[in-house]
């Protein structure tokens, strides 16, 4: 949440068009959000789900604790290097982030034999595999920008964001919402349908990664049927959980349910984008990319992660109970207005809704930080 502040402050000022930010600041905005807030949040969810709710002991505890501390420092460092004009520190910090990501993937694979494996576990494992490959591309790109890695195809600059946003984040969102709407109440053994729900979008994300890296049209378009197949199974399996959400109560069931709705909306937007631009990626209008990116970053992941943070601080929800309603309606109405402003290319709409979205998220982070701290001291 602390690192996410960088994203929100730059985001609000950018959305209000009061400052014209340069590319490196915008890249810091993107990565403070995708690595600082989302990926650290997903690491937390991974530790929760793959610990089998059992405390870690001795050597195991030391490994997980140090991995978390290095993850926080490495990601904060990487975001800092993005502000610096000096290109050399970036590959070093980026490589450290990659090592941490691989460390978590290794831990998850080791833990998978020790816990009851369910669909959210499979989705998180698939998400971390996609993230690791996407981060390797990211590190090669920073080395390329620093003058090395001349062998890297230009397609990497599309493959990295496309596969991480449409692959890694969709799978991570699928894990969090399935846990929030279903497994946390009734953890069921993994079924063939559950496996297909995850494996289809996982393969679709890898096909998009390889296809956009090597400019192979046939691979790029594969994500559409694979993701649609996966999301139809997902809606069939979770539809009743979404319908049962208590939309007017301050609970987190509506955060998980709306996150699930955004997952389906994002798969539809990705299908539209690929169907219309698969053979001419360079012509994708930036407003469409930004609309899709923010619908995934905020609509899918931030709703889902706040659902988990609410769960962690559940005993403290009597602190500022009204804030749960302001953040839920403010953040999501702000997001829909912001995305509408982008799609309609109406600056005034974007300028009205960006601060509503940004300020609601800031309120959420203040509320949850106080609740989590109080919970921690209990
Ligand atoms: C080790 C981790 C990572 C590294 C080293 C890395 C590196 C990079 C680099 C070098 C760029 C291009 C910067 C430029 O053109 O100036 C970039 C762009 C981008 N990255 Fe990452 N990245 C990482 C993780 C992520 C993650 C986890 C996500 C999303 C989930 C992500 C999403 C993006 C997006 C959306 C862009 C912007 C594309 C554009 O507007 O052209 N990155 N990244």
| Ligand 1, atom nearest to 293 Cα | 35
55 burial class (0-12, 13-18, 19+ CB within 10 angstroms)? exposed
pTM greater than 0.75 (yes/no): yes
| Ligand 1: residue whose CA is nearest its atom 33 | 161
Query: What integer pLDDT is reported at residue 39 of this predicted model?
Result: 98
| Ligand 1, atom nearest to 139 Cα | 5
Query: What integer pLDDT is reported at residue 56 of this predicted model?
Result: 65
Q: Which contiguous run of DSSP H or E holds residue 330?
A: helix 321-343
What would the two tokens of residue 167 be?
A: 């692959």
DSSP conformation class of 189: P
Query: What integer pLDDT is reported at residue 186 of this predicted model?
Result: 67
Structural contact between residues 328 and 347, judged by C-beta atoms closer than 8 angstroms: no
Query: What integer pLDDT is reported at residue 308 of this predicted model?
Result: 95
Query: What integer pLDDT is reported at residue 9 of this predicted model?
Result: 93
**Rounded to the nearest whole angstrom, what is the distance from the C-alpha of residue 260 to the centroid of ligand 1?**
25
**Rounded to the nearest whole angstrom, what is the distance from the C-alpha of residue 31 to the centroid of ligand 1?**
7
Cβ 260 under 6 angstroms from ligand 1: no
pLDDT less than 70: residues of the chain? 53, 55-58, 185-187, 377-378
**Rounded to the nearest whole angstrom, what is the distance from the C-alpha of residue 138 to the centroid of ligand 1?**
6
8 burial class (0-12, 13-18, 19+ CB within 10 angstroms)? buried
Query: What integer pLDDT is reported at residue 3 of this predicted model?
Result: 92
Out of 31, 128, 156, 209, give the residue to mutate to test ligand 1, the one with the largest number of ligand atoms within 8 Å of its CB: 31
Helices (H), strands (E): how many in the chain? 16, 0
Query: What integer pLDDT is reported at residue 338 of this predicted model?
Result: 94
Cβ 160 under 6 angstroms from ligand 1: yes
**Rounded to the nearest whole angstrom, what is the distance from the C-alpha of residue 161 to the centroid of ligand 1?**
6
Whole-angstrom distance, CA of residue 189 vs CA of residue 10: 43
Out of 81, 134, 286, 297, give the residue to mutate to test ligand 1, the one with the largest number of ligand atoms within 8 Å of its CB: 134
């Amino acid at each position: 949440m602390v690192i996410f502040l960088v994203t929100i402050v730059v985001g609000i000022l950018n959305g209000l068009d009061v400052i014209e930010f340069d590319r490196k600041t915008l890249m810091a905005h993107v990565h403070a959000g995708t690595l600082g807030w989302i990926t650290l949040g997903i690491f937390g969810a991974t530790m929760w789900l793959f610990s089998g709710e059992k405390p870690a002991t001795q050597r195991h505890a030391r490994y997980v604790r140090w991995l978390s501390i290095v993850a926080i420092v490495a990601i904060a460092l990487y975001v800092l290097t993005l502000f610096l004009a000096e290109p050399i520190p970036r590959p070093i910090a980026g490589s450290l982030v990659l090592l941490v990501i691989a460390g978590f993937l290794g831990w998850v694979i080791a833990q998978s034999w020790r816990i009851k494996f369910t669909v959210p576990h499979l989705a998180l494992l698939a998400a971390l595999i996609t993230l690791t490959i996407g981060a390797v591309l990211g590190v090669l790109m920073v080395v390329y920008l620093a003058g090395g890695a001349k062998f890297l195809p230009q397609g990497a600059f599309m493959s990295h964001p496309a596969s991480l946003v449409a692959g890694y984040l969709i799978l991570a969102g699928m894990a969090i919402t399935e846990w929030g709407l279903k497994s946390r109440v009734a953890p069921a053994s993994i079924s063939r349908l559950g496996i297909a729900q995850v494996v289809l979008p996982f393969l679709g994300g890898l096909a998009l990664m390889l296809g956009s890296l090597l400019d192979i049209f046939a691979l790029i378009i594969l994500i559409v049927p694979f993701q649609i197949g996966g999301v139809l199974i997902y809606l069939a399996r979770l539809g009743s959980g979404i319908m049962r959400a208590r939309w007017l109560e301050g609970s987190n069931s509506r955060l998980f349910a709306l996150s699930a709705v955004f997952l389906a909306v994002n798969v539809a937007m990705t299908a539209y984008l690929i169907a219309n631009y698969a053979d001419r990626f360079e012509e994708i209008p930036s407003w469409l990319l930004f609309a899709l990116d923010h619908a995934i970053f905020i609509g899918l992941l931030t709703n889902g992660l706040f659902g988990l943070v609410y769960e962690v601080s559940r005993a403290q929800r009597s602190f500022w109970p009204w804030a749960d309603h302001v953040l839920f309606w403010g953040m999501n109405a702000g997001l829909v207005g912001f995305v509408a402003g982008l799609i309609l290319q109406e600056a005034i709409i974007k300028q009205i809704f960006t601060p509503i979205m940004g300020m609601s998220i800031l309120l959420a982070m203040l509320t949850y930080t106080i609740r989590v701290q109080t919970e921690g001291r209990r």
